[in-house]
Amino acid sequence: MTSLCKTAASDGIIRLLQKLNKVNLNDALERGCLPFFVSDLQVGLIRPDFWTHFKNYPEVFQYIDKSQSVSKYGVHLSEDYKDYGERTDAVNKVLEDLRAKDVIGALQGWRDENYSVKPNFAGESLLEVERAASGLFGFLQYGVHINGFTRSPSGEMKMWIGRRSKTKQTFPDMFDNMCAGGLPAGMGVLECARKECQEEASVSDKLLERLKPVGCISYFYEDERGLQPESQFVFDLELPEDFTPVNADGEMGSFQLLSMSELQKNLMLDEFTPTCGTVCLDWIIRYGFLDPSTGNKFYL
């Protein structure tokens, strides 16, 4: 690879990662983002532009100033709500009211799908909220991504990539992994991965026996929907060469099978969702198509 190509590849990788992982916690606090607590456990971080709306519901959200308590500084869900159900109902009633008033754009992407709210993945679920509102509170979000790939008898590897439907609420008409999705409240990680494979690519139960968990990718980004700290559970799925994914839920517009050269070139074109691009980059490194320290073997 020429030094020019290496530079282009390195710049593309850096651009991809900076787009995805661009929130510094200290900077967020310095610009006025407020810690959000439920039962004295911090579960999120609220931007000032969203607090402008939430503070109009003081019976639900209570603000504690640093002069009152440094350790409890921030926004607290009222302790009047004692359990999971009461907390869920209280917060979602506020969100439904704000959605009806049409004052927060993110709520127009309402999914009718809830995410669990907890201080960490292993922690107790304290409530659940509409998925579209997770970024408003800076809640931790989880999802699954599946790398569907083939391997020829000669060893050539290719990856199935989907193009998202033009009607998707987020990242419409962009490249994505063959299967991916958020982790809904009450659903296990493997259960979610299998569901997404069946709904988005019509993968059979027999082929799903090959599903292999390979790690987790975490990042913290921000967009118009709010603060998005996320962790994605990543799976590899080696598929027979005669397999062709067929979408069953309307979320994928099309699929294409890319060679490693084609995949790597497309990663530089900003056509992938940031999450998918990073998951693909992780796959390329794990299978030896890219040396992360030198850029060698990045075929352009």
- Cα distance between the two ends of the chain: 8
| Separation CA 211–CA 197 (nearest Å) | 10
**pTM > 0.85:** yes
The per-residue pLDDT for range 9-46, each reduced to its tens digit, is: 567 777 777 878 889 889 999 999 999 999 999 999 99
Distance from C-alpha of 208 to C-alpha of 201, rounded to nearest angstrom: 11
Residue 296 has pLDDT above 90, yes or no: no
Q: Read off φ and ψ for residue 173, nearest 5 degrees.
A: 65, 25
Q: Rounded CA gap, 42 and 77, in Å?
A: 10
The C-alpha atoms of residue 186 and residue 209 are separated, in whole angstroms, by 23
User: Quick one: which of 279, 229, 36, 274 has its CA closest to 115?
Assistant: 229
Mean pLDDT in residue range 171-186: 90
CA pair distance 191, 198, nearest whole angstrom: 11
Name the token pair of 45: 């971080």
